[in-house]
Chains A and B, each alone.
Chain A
């Protein structure tokens, strides 16, 4: 095993301390008994209690999850279609505009996306609420999904689809039975990405939401503008916990699959002999 130089060890230690200490502090202070968030006054879970009694937060959380599930599902369907068109569509009229519209939202400042969507919704007389947030989120996250899926499709061995056609599948059967199962991991990561983006989004949601629908980030933002609050600390801790569990699980699954692939390779070698 190679030994790491002191420089690399220091860089990694300081780097990860920088990335994680702020979140750690947030988690620790969510268990602070004092209302004054900067003074430690003993361990308590009371802020979690008050958080779960706060109807406004719970309502917002429900709206947020609803928006995220619906918009990421639509975004995954549209984004996968768009990826397919980009990678397999060949030439068609307005292809450049199409790929431009796929990549532009990725680098577009959220204030501009939000503003322009709001002006559209007002222009066509659509009442702002859950529907408009879903439309907005679907639009920008379908682009992320399409980038994730198309990077998988580019490396996809096209002869697999041709083999399916050659063996008598229709185009749709070839996609459903061969392409989709193989690119499924990319489609799922696309969905997760879309879901997280939707959960996280403050700016676009602020522009496109109306009085009838407030999302969690909007609630958090208006609360923290007034300063640090222990309830928000508790809420943040819960969200950090959920993400941590998700990411750790995903990386364990990846690791298990890698080990399985290695075993398979060995089995293949044995089979040859």
Chain B
């Protein structure tokens, strides 16, 4: 790739398209969003990820204008959008239920927003045709929403919300109603459309795989707070908390007390009578501070003999093997009862696999394999 990497968030001179400034939202006694500050940049595909009830939908509805902000302000292209009603915002939304108007045709659904802008007939026609082409539904233009399939409805909803060429498109669990296979195909389609139209997308999802696939940056949320905002790779490799590490993908967490053992290197005393584990960390830990070592299963090697080239090795026995086809996950029980997951790619046929249930095995990983977390 010769073009420069898309990372406006690293450029201090770049003006954000959306700025949440100390936004708090309360519903009566219940606080949905706590003092939230967040920038989203033009042309980003930004994902709000979190379990249900974490406040991600509330954030989206505040952007669309269906909820007001209790404290703080939200800026769109530098202007406070608080007093702007939803029908006057240059923001469109694709609803989780799609919210297609059942009594009018696909064509009229897409034209609905354009008609509200009092556009000329020719303009409307041209734009609707363009949108139909974009989502490949020209053939179905004159059907009613209940006469097409779920996947097609999803595309109509997308076309309708893009028709007005909004500055910002909000997508509320856009793929939630589709089955897994269709969902994966549609993810790539969404990315293509986002790139073609150059629109800023904010997607709300509880599906981490979806967020990782489509987004340029992901905000992981929990109970009304944003825990971490970073690119998918950074979120996966450098989670900033046990919560994020645990929420995204599979992880082993080993708790212990840290003590410095070299420059940016620590020894983790995780169990009395056991050799301490070695891990690197750019984040400083004080002597005896409680730390969590988070290691992804695929970064743990499993072998029948003790490997001699590694700094961290433990012995255990195989408790369970989850065979997933391309991968196998081994659940290895340590002598103290803790279970560590190790994952290997099945590059060989199953019959040749040399580790089975109850086998005593060694698991090992390098000093840089894990991340040390303080919370």
Q: Could you tell me which A residues sit within 8 Å of B by CB distance?
A: 157, 159-160, 162-170, 173, 177-178, 181-182, 261, 264-265, 267-269, 271-272
Q: Which of B93, B103, B117, B148 contacts A268 (CB 8 A)?
A: B148
Contacts of B101 in A (CB 8 A): 160, 163-164, 178, 182
- Measured between beta carbons, the chain A residues less than 8 angstroms from B65 are 165-166
For the complex formed, measure the closest distance between the CB of A272 and the CB atoms of chain B, giving whole angstroms: 3
B283 interface residue (CB < 8 Å to A): no
State whether the Cβ of B338 lies closer than 8 Å to any Cβ in chain A: no
A265 contact set on B, CB distance < 8 A: 146
Given A167-B116, A170-B87, also A268-B99 (CB < 8 A): no
Cβ-neighbour of B164 out of A167, A177, A182, A261 (below 8 A): A167
Q: Which residues from chain B contact A264 at a C-beta distance below 8 Å?
A: 144, 146-147
Category for how many chain B residues contact A: 20 to 34
Q: Which residues of A contact B326 (CB under 8 A)?
A: none
B61-93 vs A, Cβ < 8 Å mask (1 yes, 0 no): 000111000000000000000000111100111
In the complex, identify which listed stretch (B149-157, B259-267, B342-350) lies at the interface while the others stay far away: B149-157
Tell me how many residue pairs across A and B have CB atoms closer than 8 Å. Answer: 82
Q: What chain A residues lie within 8 Å of B9 (beta carbons)?
A: none
Q: Which A residues lie within 8 Å of B147 (CB)? A: 264, 267-268, 271
20 A-B Cβ contacts within 8 A? A159-B95, A163-B99, A163-B160, A164-B112, A166-B65, A167-B92, A168-B113, A168-B117, A169-B112, A169-B116, A181-B103, A261-B146, A267-B143, A267-B147, A268-B147, A268-B149, A271-B148, A271-B152, A272-B150, A272-B152
> Taking A182-B102, A182-B103, A269-B149 as contacts, is the C-beta distance between A163 and B95 under 8 angstroms?
yes
Chain B residues with CB below 8 A from A268, complex form: 146-149
| Contact pick for B87, options A159, A165, A271, CB 8 Å | A165
- The reply on B97 being an interface residue by CB < 8 A is yes
- A167, A173, A177 interface centre (most CB from chain B within 10 Å): A167
B contact residues vs A (CB 8 Å cutoff)? 64-66, 85-88, 91-93, 95-97, 99, 101-103, 112-113, 116-117, 140, 143-144, 146-152, 160-161, 164
- The CA of A182 and the CA of B112, in the complex, are separated in Å by 16
Chain B nearest Cβ from A271, distance in angstroms: 5
Q: Is the beta-carbon distance between B148 and A163 smaller than 8 angstroms? A: no
Q: Report the bound CA distance from A164 to B115 in whole Å.
A: 11
- CB-CB nearest 5 A-B residue pairs: A272-B149, A167-B113, A168-B116, A163-B99, A159-B99
- Set of chain A residues within 8 Å of B113, measured between Cβ atoms: 167-168
Q: How far is the CA of A173 from the CA of B148 in the complex (A)?
A: 26
Q: By the criterion CB–CB under 8 Å, are B96 and A159 in contact? A: yes
By a CB distance below 8 angstroms, the chain B residues around A167 are 87, 92, 112-113, 116, 160-161, 164
Residues on B with C-beta less than 8 A from A166 are: 64-65, 86-87, 91-93, 161
